[in-house]
Amino acid sequence: MRIISFTQARNSLKSVLDSVVNDADCTVITRRDAGNAVVMPMDYYNSLMETKIPSQCGPSGPIYRAI
């Protein structure tokens, strides 16, 4: 996993994205005054979404708060 600042990511976005895709690895983008973010390959993201428990999905959480 690579960790870079927002400024570094902004200045070299193509390189960051190429690295994530080519190396099949995640990159954490840190921000000074806000939460951090993760850039990951689409295959990894899709895998995470497939294993996510359906009851946690949706706008309000567990099974739409019991409907």
Domains assigned to the chain: 2-66 (3.40.1620.10)
Band of residue 48 on the pLDDT scale cut at 50, 70, 90: confident
Sign of dihedral through CA atoms 7, 8, 9, 14? positive
Does residue 42 carry a pLDDT above 90?
yes
Residue type, 25: D
Band of residue 49 on the pLDDT scale cut at 50, 70, 90: confident
Q: pLDDT digit string (tens) for 3-21? A: 999 999 999 999 999 999 9
